[in-house]
């Protein structure tokens, strides 16, 4: 069937092109070819994913990729996206898959929240001259400590040198090189990376144990007692911000021999994660799984429960804390994904800003906030977002998409194809080699370092010298351009008040 879609991108090539064919070699989607009969490069706009790999690597700077200027007659009801989704589904009869977080223009609350700074009284602090503490402890903490408690020992906690962790990205969804880079960067930065649901390659376990969070998801891939003990914490993944309420599907083409061995499944078979955990249908069931994991890890590791931010998230969080979780990770609707149905990604869930604030306030109201730390993820784009998330009640944040961008991702949203030009979201050995592990790790370390410096600057400006003092400190925030109900949910005043 001939496609009736317009190409998404238009590629133009300037006269400076000397037909070196670098673009042909760089493009993993087969856009560029050399036509010997005409001695010229030609491009197939229809194949272009807009990943920009060719434009970056063209030695002559000859390539320009733009959104295609062709358009359908403007219609307020029928946007180009709606028209083309229908055409696409009429051609395939299938669900439209996509990757990355939602690109829809939902309100990004971070951009409607302003930070405070000290003036005159409570002077600001210069982080270059005075100590500034970003060390963060995640886990269940006692309301108070007596000498006998200290002798008996307290619950295990994760210690982070900076309040940022890399969020779950599984080996299989991302390449071995990307997975390794995250592990190396986490260990060098004094924080943690998360295996996601794909298991932990055996050869990496001893080296990165102290900086790994191992995940247990509904597919239960690669899970045994040794795996559960191969990290510093265990995360039970109930939901993901990009696709709340549905499972996952890693196509067989991405299940290489090594991915298969790590996931404990046959090579080349689809790895399907069911929507629910088949042993969790109530808070009591969750409590039993948390207890079982604590038992098998000798009560030495905090247990995290990760959920997607959905409508009644504060009540859900309350149940999770009462089920014995030490840390709750909340993933907002702008969180990334390797593959998700577009209809789910763009229509299900709520933004992390609203979710984290309502959970923090509910747990405080119920007097159980100290029993559980909160990690906020799904939409953290910069150091200011980190500061605002913590002031809204998070203890720390997960960063995923920002980490991928640091490694070279251009948000082309084609992760589900397995053809990532940047070697991040692929199992193709040739493409994977494009990602230099050491360089990618250094980029990640640099990103965390840069953000940590900026966080210290912002804290110092507020006259705060420890990140702990910022947690839930909504007095440092003001809303701008928000409705009354939004200010209420966030628990902040409007600017000028």
Residue 420 annotated in ligand binding = no
* DSSP states along 271-320: EEE-SS-TT-SSHHHHHHHHHHHHHHTTT-S-EEEEEE--TTHHHHHHHH
Q: Which is nearer to ligand SF4, 59 or 142 (CB)?
A: 59
Pairing of strands 233-237, 248-250: unpaired
Residue 425 annotated in ligand binding = no
Q: Which is nearer to ligand SF4, 157 or 402 (CB)?
A: 402
Nearest-approach distance from CB 183 to ligand SF4, in angstroms = 17
Half-sphere exposure in the Cβ direction for 416 (13 Å, CA)? 16
Nearest-approach distance from CB 147 to ligand SF4, in angstroms = 52
| Token pair for 388 | 């605002």
Residue 51 annotated in ligand binding = yes
Nearest-approach distance from CB 19 to ligand SF4, in angstroms = 5
Nearest-approach distance from CB 132 to ligand SF4, in angstroms = 33
Q: Which is nearer to ligand SF4, 294 or 434 (CB)?
A: 434
Residue 100 annotated in ligand binding = no
Cα–Cα distance between 169 and 37 in angstroms, integer?
Answer: 45
* Phi/psi-derived region of residue 492, left when phi > 0, alpha when psi is between -120 and 50, beta in every other case: beta
Q: Which is nearer to ligand SF4, 227 or 416 (CB)?
A: 416
| Residue 41 near residue 82 (C-beta atoms within 8 A) | no
Residue 23 annotated in ligand binding = yes
| Residue 303 near residue 234 (C-beta atoms within 8 A) | yes
User: With b meaning 16 or more CB within 10 Å and e meaning fewer, what string describes 91-119?
Assistant: eeeeeebbbbbbeeeeeebbebbeebeee
Residue 54 annotated in ligand binding = yes
Q: Which is nearer to ligand SF4, 409 or 462 (CB)?
A: 409
Q: Which is nearer to ligand SF4, 99 or 139 (CB)?
A: 99
Half-sphere exposure in the Cβ direction for 259 (13 Å, CA)? 28
- The torsion angle over the Cα atoms of residues 25, 442, 381 and 493, rounded to 10 degrees, is -170
Nearest-approach distance from CB 401 to ligand SF4, in angstroms = 9
Which residues here bind ligand SF4, judged by CB under 6 A?
A: 13, 17-23, 41, 51, 58-60, 62-63, 99-100, 404, 409-415, 420, 422, 424-425
Nearest-approach distance from CB 179 to ligand SF4, in angstroms = 13
- The torsion angle over the Cα atoms of residues 378, 379, 382 and 383, rounded to 10 degrees, is -50
Cα–Cα distance between 68 and 49 in angstroms, integer?
Answer: 12
Nearest-approach distance from CB 337 to ligand SF4, in angstroms = 10
Cα–Cα distance between 389 and 470 in angstroms, integer?
Answer: 10
Q: Which is nearer to ligand SF4, 194 or 297 (CB)?
A: 194
Which run of H or E residues covers position 54? helix 53-57
Nearest-approach distance from CB 22 to ligand SF4, in angstroms = 4
| Residue 262 near residue 227 (C-beta atoms within 8 A) | no
Q: Which is nearer to ligand SF4, 109 or 416 (CB)?
A: 416
| Token pair for 191 | 């924080």
From the annotation, which residues make up the binding site for [4Fe-4S] cluster?
17, 20, 23, 27, 48, 51, 54, 58
């Amino acid at each position: 069937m001939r496609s009736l879609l317009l190409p998404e991108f238009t590629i133009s090539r300037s006269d400076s092109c000397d037909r070196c064919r670098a673009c042909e070699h760089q493009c993993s989607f087969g856009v560029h070819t050399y036509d010997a009969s005409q001695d010229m490069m030609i491009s197939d706009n229809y194949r272009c994913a807009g990943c920009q790999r060719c434009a970056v690597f063209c030695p002559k700077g000859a390539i320009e990729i733009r959104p295609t200027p062709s358009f359908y007659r403007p219609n307020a009801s029928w946007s180009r996206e709606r028209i083309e989704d229908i055409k696409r589904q009429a051609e395939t009869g299938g669900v439209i898959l996509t990757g990355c977080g939602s690109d829809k223009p939902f309100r990004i609350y971070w951009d409607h929240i302003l930070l405070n700074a000290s003036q005159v009284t409570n002077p600001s602090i210069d982080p270059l001259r005075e100590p500034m503490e970003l060390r963060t402890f995640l886990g269940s903490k006692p309301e108070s400590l007596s000498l006998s408690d200290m002798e008996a020992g307290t619950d295990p906690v994760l210690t982070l040198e900076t309040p940022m962790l890399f969020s779950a990205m599984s080996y299989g969804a991302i390449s071995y090189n990307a997975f390794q880079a995250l592990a190396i960067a986490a260990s060098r930065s004094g924080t943690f990376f998360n295996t996601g649901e794909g298991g932990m390659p055996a050869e990496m376990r001893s080296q990165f144990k102290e900086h790994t969070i191992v995940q247990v998801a509904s597919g239960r891939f690669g899970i045994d007692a040794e795996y559960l003990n191969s990290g510093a914490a265990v995360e039970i993944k109930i939901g993901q911000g990009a696709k709340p309420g549905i499972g996952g599907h890693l196509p067989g083409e991405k299940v290489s021999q090594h991915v298969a061995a790590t996931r404990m499944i046959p090579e080349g078979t689809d790895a399907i994660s069911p929507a629910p955990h088949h042993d969790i249908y109530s808070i009591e069931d969750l409590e039993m799984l948390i207890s079982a994991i604590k038992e098998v890890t000798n009560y030495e590791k905090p247990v995290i429960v990760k959920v997607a931010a959905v409508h009644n998230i504060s009540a859900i969080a309350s149940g999770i804390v009462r089920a014995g979780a030490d840390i709750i990770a909340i993933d907002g609707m702008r969180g990334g994904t390797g593959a998700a149905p577009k209809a789910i990604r763009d229509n299900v869930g709520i933004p992390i800003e609203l979710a984290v604030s309502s959970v923090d306030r509910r747990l405080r109201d119920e007097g159980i906030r100290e029993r559980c730390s909160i990690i906020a993820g799904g939409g953290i784009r910069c150091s200011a977002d980190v500061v605002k998330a913590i002031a809204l009640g998070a203890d720390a944040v997960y960063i995923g998409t920002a980490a991928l961008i640091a490694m070279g991702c251009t948000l082309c949203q084609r992760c589900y194809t397995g053809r990532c030009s940047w070697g991040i979201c692929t199992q193709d050995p040739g493409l994977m080699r494009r990602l230099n592990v050491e360089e990618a790790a250094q980029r990640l370390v640099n990103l965390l370092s840069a953000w940590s410096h900026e966080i210290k600057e912002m804290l110092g400006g507020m006259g705060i010298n420890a990140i702990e003092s910022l947690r839930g400190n909504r007095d440092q925030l003001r809303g701008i351009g928000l409705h009354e109900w939004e200010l209420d949910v966030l628990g902040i005043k409007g600017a000028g008040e």
